[in-house]
Amino acid sequence: MDDNKKRIKPYGDTLNDGKVQMSFTLPLQAGPEASEAGKMLAEQMGLEEVDVVDIKDLGEGFCYLILYGKVKYSVDRSQVRITRVEMETMSYYEVNDFIRNKIGRKVVVVGACTGSDAHTVGLDAIMNMKGYAGEYGLERYPEIETYNLGSQVPNEVLIKKAIKVDADAILVSQVVTQKGAHVTNLTELVEMIEAEGLRERFILVVGGPRISHELALEIGFDAGFGRGTIPPEVASYIVQKINEREGDSNGSYDQIEDGSK
């Protein structure tokens, strides 16, 4: 790979010029002092040629600043590593066929926005019949039985429901992330499930705009899906994971045994 393409910087006016936009709030009244303080902070963060292009008074001694600057650092894109969910993404029809042919029963999924989170947009995008981005939600899949519990659901209520309906998978949507609230809440859910000896019973999936697969694994979930995820991706993961756990008598498990003889 050409070194100019291998090492990358932010792009502003010209390729790799390093120009970035930064914004933050300061506990100062809007004015020259606040502008200079913002500039000094940006320079300490490594920005060069810093300009404060806008400043707004937020009242009560606070202001909001927007700055432009340049970074001297670059990233070797060949060294970028991302932990991704490993699966084959199937279509709506392929998922239903997969369930009928390989699992042989309906798949049961329970979902909720837990804790104090009242934002159901992401959860509904995956579960609601209307779906998202032109793709049907899980409620539309004839081979999937869904229970959407909505928002602000306590972890213990979600677990109780999953046990009652004999769920295969639990979906959790988390949008509220202030002070790491999502990490605390998700960790608590996993710990509660483990304390009941139920961890192997459920496939745990979490989604949200600030969720990554790597974070999900660290917390103890099976998979994490971020911004832009569509329903077939979640459905594909769940059914393949179920098949992996239960075994496919006509597929890969037989092939492994044959190969070992």
Give the 3-state DSSP-derived string for 204-249, with helices as H, strands as E and coil as C.
EEEECCCCCHHHHHHHCCCEEECCCCCHHHHHHHHHHHHHHHHCCC
**Beta carbons of 111 and 171 less than 8 angstroms apart:** yes
User: What are phi and psi for residue 16, nearest 5 degrees?
Assistant: 60, 30
Which residue do the tokens 């597929």 mark?
A: 251
Token code pair at residue 84:
């991704």
Which residue do the tokens 């949008």 mark?
A: 175
Which residue do the tokens 């009560």 mark?
A: 60
Which residue do the tokens 């037989």 mark?
A: 254
Token code pair at residue 122:
């992401």
The active-site residue out of 5, 6, 56, 130 is 130
* Cα–Cα dist 196/209, whole Å: 30
Q: Provide long-range contacts, Cβ within 8 A and 24+ apart, for 64-67.
A: 64/23, 64/24, 64/25, 65/23, 65/24, 65/25, 65/26, 65/34, 65/35, 65/38, 66/21, 66/22, 66/23, 67/21, 67/22, 67/23, 67/38, 67/39, 67/42
- Around Cβ 104, how many Cβ atoms within 10 Å? 9
- Around Cβ 43, how many Cβ atoms within 10 Å? 14
130 in active site? yes
List residues with catalytic annotation: 130
